[in-house]
Amino acid sequence: MSAPPQQKWDTEKAAQLAREAYCYVARTFPPDAPLEDLGRADMAVLEAQEAGDFEAYEETLRQLCRVARREAMGRSKAGAA
């Protein structure tokens, strides 16, 4: 069975998704948090973009947001303790 065809690269949609994701990260990620996990997620976004794999690009942007949210939630739980 062959893999489904990749979604065609849509430059406008890619820019919109990136803008939304990076604005979310800027609002959510604590300024004093370590950057290693965020950097790895950002590198994955760039790799998907360079490969022209739109589905992977969308998923890696989601992962970038998850990293920011996880760090923020971890900080808020630690502060509440």
pLDDT for position 20: 98
pLDDT for position 2: 47
Handedness of CA 31, 36, 38, 39 (dihedral sign): positive
Kindly list the averaged pLDDT for each block of 10 residues, start to end, along the chain of length 81: 65 97 97 94 97 96 97 75 50
Supply 66's token pair.
């998850």
pTM over 0.75? The answer is yes
